[in-house]
Amino acid sequence: MTAKGSLRKFRLGALSVFPILFAGIPIAAQPAASGWEAKESVIKSSTKSRAGMNFEESRVPKYQLPDPLISEDGKPVATPQEWTTVRRPALLQLFRENIYGVRPTTKYEVGYKEVGRRENAFGIGATARQIRATITARGKSHSFDFVIVVPQLENPAPVIVHINNRYLIPLDKAVDESDPFWPVEKLVRRGYATAGFHTSDVDPDKRGKYAEGIRALLDDTDSDPATRWRCLSSWAWGASRVLDFAIKQPGIDPKRTAVAGNSRAGKTALWAGVEDERFQITYSNESGCGGAALSRRAFGETVARINRVFPHWFCERFKAYDDRENEIPVDQHQLIALIAPRAVYVASADEDLWADPRGEYASLIAAGPVFDLLDLKHITDPAMPQLNTPRHVGSTAYHIRTGVHNLTEQDWGYFLNFADGIFKK
């Protein structure tokens, strides 16, 4: 045993004796040092600023999560093959028909045109390009731009598709200015290629703007309006069109791919990772309700509230579950499970109780049985980690960082450390 190990043992031993001697509380019977807890001040300020919403653990309703490994007919899923061929497709369909919507089957073509190019980006030989994707269907078309930056390396680099819910970071900005929300230079210097697009360029993030987006172009007017896709699914579809292009570029390894997004784009990243199995890692930052957080906890943002404020994000049927979370045939841990056997990273922020950090962590843990069935290592510790202490175990990862709702260089740094391991960089 190391000196440190024996010291720790001694301390624990001493601690367990003192309380018995002096206070009569056998410390060994108490839980081990537990993880993150929301600060009282943040609970108070959240409760004040979001009147009528719950930020108290003690007021989380009683709930039972649907088991990812029990089929709709009550039969246990016993083998990896049953998961892959029967249970996963059935669960995926439940998510499509109840939450994110079913994608149209309209035939389309995509053309990619380079509209800008910078060589030797960051002075390290990276190539940066702005590409315009034009989707054509039934004689009409819709275009959106993305920027893709590829490092100059001996071996092809992994690629990270960033779904940007705030703005398009155009070519010159991506090269000449640094934006922590998508820190291109940092990613490239760490040996990653990256491509970023703006959600609203694929489909406007506004109710009433349907006619201007990809959904208007592709929607199958005969499909069931209750289950038709909405913005989140169309943005995830956009991430796949960016990936189509990226994996054909020299300098990019088509087998090492990731998708990342924050908040509404974090929800989108999870759905992209589920619908498109080419993504090897999904990174969801503070995705909250309709993302990584368990809906049944009704903590922070709820299904009713998200459907009211953002009626254009989820399929129409999702509204049937407003204030009836227990009736949703799925919960978000099963969404995470659908990403297995590929890797998934869930991240939260200390002051972002609206996104329910505890519900995001619990969801990742509750996806665990599927990773077990597939014989993959994953996070199992029911106690959350402490602030700024990433927990990366096998195929799953989590961190909660100091601060407010945002995607920061700190988040990216933790994510890249995990990606390095998965991609064996």
Task: Enumerate binding residues for ligand GTR (CB under 6 A).
Answer: 165, 263-264, 288-289, 301, 306
Please, what is the minimum distance in Å from the beta carbon of residue 308 to ligand GTR?
10
Q: Identify the helix (H) or strand (E) that includes residue 413.
A: helix 409-422
Q: Where are the beta strands (DSSP E) in 216-296?
A: 252-262, 281-285
Q: Please state, in angstroms and rounded to a whole number, the distance separating the CA atoms of residues 342 and 313.
A: 25
Please, what is the minimum distance in Å from the beta carbon of residue 407 to ligand GTR?
10
User: Closer to ligand GTR at the Cβ: 156 or 288?
Assistant: 288
H-state helical runs in 132-230: 171-176, 184-189, 199-202, 214-218
User: Closer to ligand GTR at the Cβ: 165 or 194?
Assistant: 165
Which amino acids are annotated catalytic?
Answer: 263, 405
Q: Please state, in angstroms and rounded to a whole number, the distance separating the CA atoms of residues 135 and 103.
A: 15
Enumerate residues 6+ apart whose C-beta is below 8 A from 328: 98, 99, 295, 296, 303, 321
Coil, helix or strand at residue 228: strand
Q: Please state, in angstroms and rounded to a whole number, the distance separating the CA atoms of residues 235 and 198.
A: 9
Please, what is the minimum distance in Å from the beta carbon of residue 359 to ligand GTR?
13
User: Closer to ligand GTR at the Cβ: 322 or 372?
Assistant: 322
Please, what is the minimum distance in Å from the beta carbon of residue 354 to ligand GTR?
6
Phi and psi angles of residue 171, each rounded to the nearest 5 degrees, phi first: -50, -55
Coil, helix or strand at residue 255: strand
User: Closer to ligand GTR at the Cβ: 148 or 335?
Assistant: 335
Phi and psi angles of residue 141, each rounded to the nearest 5 degrees, phi first: -145, 160
The secondary structure of residue 226, as a DSSP letter, is T
H-state helical runs in 153-213: 171-176, 184-189, 199-202
User: Closer to ligand GTR at the Cβ: 127 or 199?
Assistant: 199
Please, what is the minimum distance in Å from the beta carbon of residue 264 to ligand GTR?
3
Please, what is the minimum distance in Å from the beta carbon of residue 33 to ligand GTR?
32
Q: Where are the beta strands (DSSP E) in 125-244?
A: 126-137, 140-150, 157-164, 193-198
User: Closer to ligand GTR at the Cβ: 288 or 369?
Assistant: 288
